[in-house]
Amino acid sequence: MKKTITRLLAAMLTSTMLLGVMAGCKKKDEIKTFEMFIAMPGTELSEGNKAQDKLAELYGAKIKETWLTGQTAEEAIGVMVAAGEYPDMIEASDGYQMMVDAGALIPIDKYWDKYPNIKNYLSEAEWNMCRKEDGHIYAIPQFGIVNERDTSTLVNGEAWWIQTRVLKWAGYPEVVTIDDYFKLIGDYAAANPTHVDGTSVIPFTILCEDWRYYCLENPPFFLAGYPNDGSVIVEPDTATVVDYNTIPIAKQYFQKLNEEYKNGIVDPESFTQSYDEYISKISTGRILGFVDQFWNFGFTAMDAIKAANLEGCTYVPLGIVANDGIVEQYNNEPALDVSGGFSITTSCKDIDGAMKLVNDLLSEEAQTIRFWGLKDVDYKVDADGLFYRTPEMRTMSVDANYKADNLCPYAYLPQYEGMSLDGINAWRPANQSSEFFEDLAPEVKECFEAYGAKTYVEMLNPTKPSKPWFPMWSYSNDLTTETEGGLVWVTMGEVKHEYLPKVVIADDFEAAWDEYMQVYSERCDIDVFLADMQAEVDRRISVAEGN
Amino acid sequence: MSQLNLDLKPKMDLAARTAAENEPKKKRRRKKILMGDLIFTIVNTLLLSLMVVVTLYPILNTLAVSFNDGLDALRGGIYLIPRTFSLKNYKTVLQMNNLLIGARNSVLRTAIAAILHLGLTALLAYVLSVKEFVFKKPVSLFYVMTMYVNAGLIPTFLLFKSLNLTNSFLVYIIPGMIAAFNLLVLRTYMSSLPSSLRESAQIDGANHLTIFWKIYCPICKPVFATIALFIAVWHWSSWFDNMIYNRSNSELTTLQYELMKLLSSVSSQTSSGSAYGNTTQSVAITPTSIRAAATIVTSMPIVILYPFLQRYFVTGLTIGGVKE
Amino acid sequence: MEYNGHPLLTKGCDAAVSDKDNDMLKTEDKQPKKAATKDAAAIERLGVAAYRRASVQPTSTPVADDLGGKKRRFGHSDAEPKVKITRRTLYRQRELIYITIPFILYGLLFYYVPLGGWLMAFQNYKPQLGLLGSEFVGLKYFKQIFGDKVFLGVIRNTLMMGIINLVLSFGFAIGFALLLNEVRLKHPKKFVQTVSYLPHFLSWIIVTGIVRDMLSMQSGIVNEILVNIGIFDQPVNFFANKDYFWWIVGFSNVWKETGWNSIIYLAAITAINPEMYEAASLDGAGRFGKMWHVTLPGIKSTIFILLLMNLGNVLNVGFEIQYLLGNDLIRSVSETIDIYVLKWGISQANFSIGTAAGIFKSVVSIVLIFLANSAAKSAGEERLF
């Protein structure tokens, strides 16, 4: 017995040493390395990533990114702040305010004079929106900064999704109201109750898991024709905030769901399914329609449907409203989120080096390497300077291992969206319309044609210019229970989580709705919340006007 | 039971002696026992078979999913055999960053902790199993309480930082050396050994360390094997300390932490709307399928290690389980 | 002092044997058998002949209870020696004390010093201000927790799930260990045991996925079986009904941990003296009888100590499984203290309210432990300290 153990130990030690030797072989380099922590989950790049090395070669520095794992951002940042030790650069996410309060970030505006790419990255008015109370800028927003024009081809936001086979079966009808929508999928399900795999079709499902319950709770403001401000409706003309939970359209919407639940149109597992189950269900192609934001299902379930060649099961977006005469507004401009961003910390020993790197990485050349990859490896250029990819390149670009070894988007560093700085190409392959069409399934092309659209985006009304307060969710997301308004906001979520599913499955809708409304008004002092939101709307307007 | 308690001789004698008066009763009784044993064996076999099926099926299912194409698996309906066979999930898991360094550190911390923690815990358990030891109670209480109090993340972090344990391999080894649970299990076992064992050695002039090493350790082998397994499994599967204390040093990374990073990055890829969604080529890995492969990969080493330790259990079991 | 007197029985054996059995065993001991195992042989070689004798020989006089006259057990019960702390005992036990000192220092440093962090619960803790600089708010966070009606429901849920888990996990682990111990064939036994501990290595996220699959309305095997044998007319949505949730959690725990938890009992079973079984055979006990009258009592001390320990953990039912299996329809029965803390803490940097809830759980645990321990003491059973 002793022998076995000794042998086991010996074997373990030997293999360990071997591993150690193999792991120990690393080459030295003179390239500066900055550490960056991103308080979001993400993928670490491999050692020796090609695009990263190229960028390092060009600019003499690289960034080692580490990501949030199994913790909340506050916890991760909280520990750093308590210990007073930070990485060189950080995207602090929900811990941003904590970092600012701790004095852990350097004021970008003190250092930016030598770095025009940074200084000119936003307009004066936009930079003003980023300033903290002391007048300094501690974070650079990375997203929603559009160069020239928005080039989105996908509806990344919310919509009422429907399978093309349903539209095709009905001869591509005009679907405008919520009644039209349910009548259409109800009729289709009655006529075609069996899915290709032999199971029965599920006409409509609702995801209601944790924070993803927006699929159930937020359609009222879309149905009423307002954009995705998230927590409230803001009347565009008067700039006054309105609670969408109690408007008549909200009741009409939930009553409709209740009716359809009783009709067997709404999936009985709607309120008990997990996100994974929801995705699996959609992946089978059994679901005819649902409300969701594209990023929540598009890159898993839609791809599964494509991969399985389920003809007619691809989803296209519809801009459904409550009643005729309401104009839908599902599309919106990319939003500038000023509640945080990329920061450099006081622990960084080479602030100028860091600023220079950020500045360099905003150049046209760097942007192309970050989002397209290496020329002739990840993309090719045609005679007109238009970038394109071969099918092999396209395949490689979605391979997780390939990405980790070869592509280096530095996604949480400042970047331009919309058009590339060369003015010819889109900022990334997915937005390049030639690339987009290459990929489109015939059924989707046919459907687009029937509705006179060229992209998913054009299935919905064109974007309207955003109002200065848009989006209000960037404020309500940061609300904490330390403020009165925040406390109400959290309680509203509680009540809605508990009562909305009950209302939908209630035998007696009216009674359930009344109970919900009563509890809602008792537990949530909605005026406090609205006053809070109104103050923020007013503040944003005045900032935008340059005060 | 009571009836036979009076019989003082071994079976054969007894049967002969009582044959005359008890013969028919005995036979019936023995038969009854045999019948009872048979029924017991059948019921037992059935129950354990049921348990095996209930336990094994989901694991085999996980195995099947891990060998299946990720997107295809989303459609459900995979039972014991992969539908679209693919090694992609394993490829992704095994191409993970820092695999070798992580494996080295995981093996090292597991081996060192299992030996060191077991040894120290056993020593303290021995001391506490000495019945006449005056501080037995307060010291036991002192460690029992540690099971129920938790200082929280930040104070612990600050302590480790001031002890220079952060950014160091030692943070895997030094804290949590004495787990109260293991201590109590060992103490209970040791105090169930006859105290004469210790006393006679003491009379011969042995000191406590010698007694612990020479007498208690050999006897306690089965329970040591068990506790070593507990410690090893805990260390093998922990990653949180890695993330909190050694996040930025990839030389100190462990396998589990690398895996956690992989898992959380896979979910973020599929939910953050990354740049490369719009393509006919399937991404082919999904959180579910990667999770399945990761589960299989990480449990492997322990599954392999277990039979070595199980030998001790089996040795132990024959002591108690087999009649002569 | 007792250790100088008559050798005591080991508790493992003692518990199983009535006085009459003891007499019988004593007689049997006169015909010594050859050592059955290596371990026993090793002990013999060590010259500790007392081992075998001690392990089967009873005290000459059963200790009677002073109060009720009922039978007393040995070991940790009040038969334990009462040692006065005198200079002489301290000197005699100096070696033990020297060994203990480093352990106490270690424990203080690593387990007790960080408890200074409990101050956070009484502060509006901000990491940037630190423990010394944060504003004191007294009992604000405790008041906030206990002032919330929802929290009482949360305590109920936590407690109920804790109790259900405790009962089920004990019952199943002990039952499994007993049954497995009865398997005579070596390979099947090894196989069953190896299979049984596998689920321990699956993370909760996998296990809850499995549980959801099994109980699913549309394809779950449980619904299929129940409908086919006619218990239900149509598939039941288990996760929509508040009555089922705690049990689903309890049985998920059973599935995941039964094999693992049983390891400790299986090891304890190895410590049972084989002669006990022979004695029981002589008594005419069948296999079930032996399992019931010898094996089970033989691991009683292990069971007791684990029970005591886990009583203190009854509020630690975690959050992952409830979070992963719960949904909005049954939120009122699925929310645990940990989930509550996470939910409220997450929107406000967590630390103070999390610490307050942690203190609450610790206090409840310690109270429970002391109660259970003194109950065990007055019942004369095995106890923690």
Q: Is A202 helix (H, G, I), strand (E, B) or coil?
A: strand
A502 touches chain C (CB under 8 A): yes
**Contact between B278 and A439 using a beta-carbon 8 Å cutoff:** yes
**Helix C149-181, helix C186-197: angle, nearest 10:** 170
Nearest by CB to C344, which of A77, A481, A501? A481
Is A424 part of a structural domain of the chain? no
Q: What is the pLDDT of residues B170-190, one digit of tens each?
A: 999 999 899 988 888 888 778
Does residue C181 share a domain with residue C100? no
Q: What is the value of pTM for the model shown?
A: 0.79
Lowest mean pLDDT among B230-239, C28-37, C93-102, C169-178: C28-37
How many whole angstroms separate alpha carbon A265 and alpha carbon A255?
Answer: 13
DSSP run (H or E) holding C21? helix C19-28
∠ CA A236-A239-A242, nearest 5°, is: 90
Is C383 part of a structural domain of the chain? no
Is A282 part of a structural domain of the chain? yes
Q: What is the 3-state secondary structure (H, E, C) of A107-133?
A: CHHHHHHHCHHHHCCCCHHHHHHHCCC
Nearest residue on chain C to B300, alpha-carbon basis: C201
Nearest by CB to C75, which of B154, B189, B191? B191
Is A445 part of a structural domain of the chain? yes
C242 touches chain B (CB under 8 A): no
How many whole angstroms separate alpha carbon A508 and alpha carbon C115?
Answer: 53
Does residue C237 share a domain with residue C360? yes
Q: What is the pLDDT of residues A39-67, one digit of tens each?
A: 887 778 888 899 999 999 999 999 999 88
B213 touches chain C (CB under 8 A): no
Residue in C327, C333, C338, C351 to test binding to A, most A beta-carbons within 10 Å: C327
Q: What is the pLDDT of residues C368-379, one digit of tens each?
A: 988 988 888 888
Q: What is the pLDDT of residues A198-212, one digit of tens each?
A: 888 999 999 998 888
Nearest by CB to B11, which of C90, C131, C282? C282
Does residue C324 share a domain with residue C288? yes
Yes or no: say if A255 and A220 are a contact pair by the CB < 8 Å rule: no
**pLDDT confidence of A18, banded at 50, 70, 90?**
low
Does residue A199 share a domain with residue A263? yes
Does residue C306 share a domain with residue C169? yes
Is C176 part of a structural domain of the chain? yes
Residue in A7, A46, A69, A306 to test binding to B, most B beta-carbons within 10 Å: A69
Residue in A388, A398, A438 to test binding to B, most B beta-carbons within 10 Å: A398
pLDDT value of position A351: 95
Does residue A108 share a domain with residue A236? no
Does residue C210 share a domain with residue C166? yes
Nearest by CB to B276, which of A79, A156, A398? A398
Is C72 part of a structural domain of the chain? yes
Q: What is the pLDDT of residues B270-284, one digit of tens each?
A: 433 333 333 333 445
**Contact between B91 and A19 using a beta-carbon 8 Å cutoff:** no
How many whole angstroms separate alpha carbon A208 and alpha carbon C327?
Answer: 8
> What b-and-e string marks burial along A409-419, b requiring 16 or more CB atoms within 10 Å of the CB?
bbbbbbbbbbb
> What b-and-e string marks burial along C307-319, b requiring 16 or more CB atoms within 10 Å of the CB?
ebbbbbbbbbbbb
**Contact between C50 and B48 using a beta-carbon 8 Å cutoff:** no
Does residue C187 share a domain with residue C48? no
A71 touches chain B (CB under 8 A): yes
Which range of C37-46, C76-85, C324-333 scores highest in mean pLDDT? It is C324-333
Does residue C251 share a domain with residue C215? yes
Instruction: Quote the domain boundaries for residue C130.
Output: 93-136
Nearest residue on chain A to C210, alpha-carbon basis: A277
What value does the mean pLDDT take over residues C240-250? Answer: 93
How many whole angstroms separate alpha carbon B235 and alpha carbon B238?
Answer: 5
Tokens of A259: 């009716």
**Contact between C217 and A269 using a beta-carbon 8 Å cutoff:** yes
**pLDDT confidence of C28, banded at 50, 70, 90?**
very low
Residue B151 with chain C: CB contacts under 8 Å: 114-118
Is C253 part of a structural domain of the chain? yes
Residue B169 with chain A: CB contacts under 8 Å: none
Residue C27 with chain B: CB contacts under 8 Å: 8
CA distance C265 to chain A (A): 23
Is A21 part of a structural domain of the chain? no
**Contact between A103 and C344 using a beta-carbon 8 Å cutoff:** no
Among C136, C169, C202, the domain boundary falls at C136
Nearest residue on chain C to A76, alpha-carbon basis: C349
A81 touches chain C (CB under 8 A): yes
Q: Which residues pair with C136 in a beta bridge?
A: C123
Q: What is the pLDDT of residues A424-473, one digit of tens each?
A: 899 988 888 888 877 788 899 999 999 999 889 999 999 888 888 888 98
Is A346 part of a structural domain of the chain? yes
CA distance A127 to chain B (A): 26
Residue C348 with chain A: CB contacts under 8 Å: 480-482
Yes or no: say if A90 and A39 are a contact pair by the CB < 8 Å rule: yes
DSSP run (H or E) holding C13? helix C11-14
Is C384 part of a structural domain of the chain? no
**pLDDT confidence of B197, banded at 50, 70, 90?**
confident
How many whole angstroms separate alpha carbon B167 and alpha carbon B107?
Answer: 18
Chains that touch B (3 or more CB pairs under 8 A): A, C
Among candidate residues C193, C168, C176, the one with its CA nearest the CA of residue C299: C176
Write the DSSP symbol of residue C71: B
Among A384, A418, A452, the domain boundary falls at A418
pLDDT value of position B23: 60
Nearest by CB to C284, which of B29, B51, B140? B29
Is A382 part of a structural domain of the chain? no
Nearest residue on chain A to B106, alpha-carbon basis: A16
Asked casually if ipTM beats, i.e. exceeds, 0.90, the reply is no
pLDDT value of position A12: 53
Residue A210 with chain B: CB contacts under 8 Å: none
pLDDT at A13 over 60: no
Q: What is the pLDDT of residues C65-74, one digit of tens each?
A: 333 333 333 3
Is A504 part of a structural domain of the chain? yes
Task: Count how many domains chain C has.
Answer: 3
The strand pair at A342-344 and A380-381 is best described as unpaired
Interface of A with C in 507-536 (CB under 8 A): none
Q: Which residues pair with A293 in a beta bridge?
A: A158
Does residue A226 share a domain with residue A142? no
Task: Count how many domains chain A has.
Answer: 2
CA distance A235 to chain C (A): 28
Instruction: Quote the domain boundaries for residue A82.
Output: 32-146+337-372+406-418
pLDDT value of position C375: 86
Nearest residue on chain B to C37, alpha-carbon basis: B319
pLDDT value of position A16: 52
Does residue C177 share a domain with residue C44? no
Nearest by CB to B264, which of A69, A300, A304? A69
Lowest mean pLDDT among A266-270, B276-280, C105-109, C219-223: B276-280
Does residue C265 share a domain with residue C333? yes
What value does the mean pLDDT take over residues A379-399? Answer: 86
Interface of A with B in 129-168 (CB under 8 A): 153-154, 156
Does residue C151 share a domain with residue C73? no
CA distance A448 to chain B (A): 16
Q: Kindly report the number of other CB atoms within 10 A of residue A240's CB atom.
A: 15
Does residue A310 share a domain with residue A217? yes
Is C98 part of a structural domain of the chain? yes
How many whole angstroms separate alpha carbon B82 and alpha carbon A322?
Answer: 45
CA distance B218 to chain A (A): 11
Does residue A269 share a domain with residue A175? yes
Does residue C297 share a domain with residue C152? yes
Instruction: Tell me how many residue pairs between chain A and chain C have CB atoms under 8 A apart.
Output: 81
CA distance A331 to chain C (A): 29
Does residue C372 share a domain with residue C227? yes
C327 touches chain A (CB under 8 A): yes
Nearest residue on chain A to C131, alpha-carbon basis: A82
Does residue A200 share a domain with residue A244? yes
Among A418, A450, A484, the domain boundary falls at A418
Is A26 part of a structural domain of the chain? no
Q: What is the pLDDT of residues B206-217, one digit of tens each?
A: 899 999 999 999
C360 touches chain A (CB under 8 A): no
pLDDT value of position B268: 54
How many alpha carbons lie under 13 Å from residue A233 in its C-beta half-sphere? 21
How many whole angstroms separate alpha carbon B41 and alpha carbon B34?
Answer: 10
Q: What is the CATH number of the domain that holds A282?
A: 3.40.190.10
Chains that touch C (3 or more CB pairs under 8 A): A, B
| DSSP string computed for B110-171 | HHHHHHHHHHHHHHHHHHHH-TT-TTHHHHHHHHHHTTT----HHHHHHHHHHTT-TTSGGG
User: Could you tell me which residues come within 8 angstroms of residue B132 by beta carbon, excluding any fewer than 6 positions away?
Assistant: C1, C3, C81, C83, C89, C93
Q: What is the CATH number of the domain that holds C213?
A: 1.10.3720.10
pLDDT value of position A202: 94
**pLDDT confidence of A94, banded at 50, 70, 90?**
confident
**Contact between A480 and C217 using a beta-carbon 8 Å cutoff:** no
pLDDT value of position A216: 95
**Contact between A280 and B76 using a beta-carbon 8 Å cutoff:** yes
